[in-house]
Amino acid sequence: MDHKGTITLETDRLVLRRFTLDDAETMYKNWASEDAVTEYLTWPTHESVEVTRAVLSDWTAAYEQADYYNWAIELKELGQVIGSITVGPQKPAVAGCELGWCMGSAWWGRGIMPEAGQAVLRYLFDEVGFARVAAVHAVGNPKSGRVMQKLGMRYEGTMRRAGRCNKGVIDEVWYAILKDDYRAEDRETGRPQ
């Protein structure tokens, strides 16, 4: 593993970058204050921009760690952050990690999260050296599962009553992609390696 931390990544429509404290108001307005966004997450809807600012203070301090990965998703046409994509628990013994995301509902269904996820997967596999990236969603949140499928992840199983989110105890649906799967998909689709 060659941990490099959260570096700026760019796609056609997005800039994936580190959060700053200046993002507090747009993060709060665009998704952190929205119940529809946090429904299946483990953190509660933010009650004020001060809560968002405190969260960002913790996140920005963590950027000093080379193995901390948490990107703000900035939509170029808007010039504002509209969501986040982050690496959660890591398993160094198998070069594995979990990926999670959230985004304001105003931008759902536009292919933004798969676009962000592809950039992050490429970085995690090619630059950092992860061999496996997993993701999990609540059984009641199949839209997140569709993002996982669009990222080329394979369904691995459903763990009954294995997780907790703002809805309570939930069944967890697990997906994952291996670096070998990702490279094979590149060859099949002609995606640049």
Q: Provide the residue ranges of all domains of the chain, joining segments of one domain with +.
A: 9-189
The mean pLDDT value of the chain amounts to: 95
Domain 9-189 has CATH 3.40.630.30: yes
The alpha carbon of residue 108 and the mean position of all alpha carbons in its chain are separated, in whole angstroms, by 14
Which pTM was predicted? 0.93
Q: What is the residue whose two structure tokens read 């996140």?
A: 59
Question: Residue 192 pLDDT > 80, yes or no?
Answer: no
Range 139-149 average pLDDT = 95
Where does the pLDDT of residue 193 fall: very low under 50, low under 70, confident under 90, or very high at 90 and above?
A: very low
What gap in Å lies between CA 131 and CA 10, rounded to an integer? Answer: 22
Q: What is the reported pLDDT for 26?
A: 98
Dig out the tokens for 71 from the structure.
């990107």
pLDDT for residue 114 is more than 70: yes
Residue 168: band (very low, low, confident or very high) from pLDDT cuts 50, 70, 90: very high
Q: How much is the pLDDT for 185?
A: 67
DSSP 43: S
Q: What is the pLDDT of residue 183?
A: 80
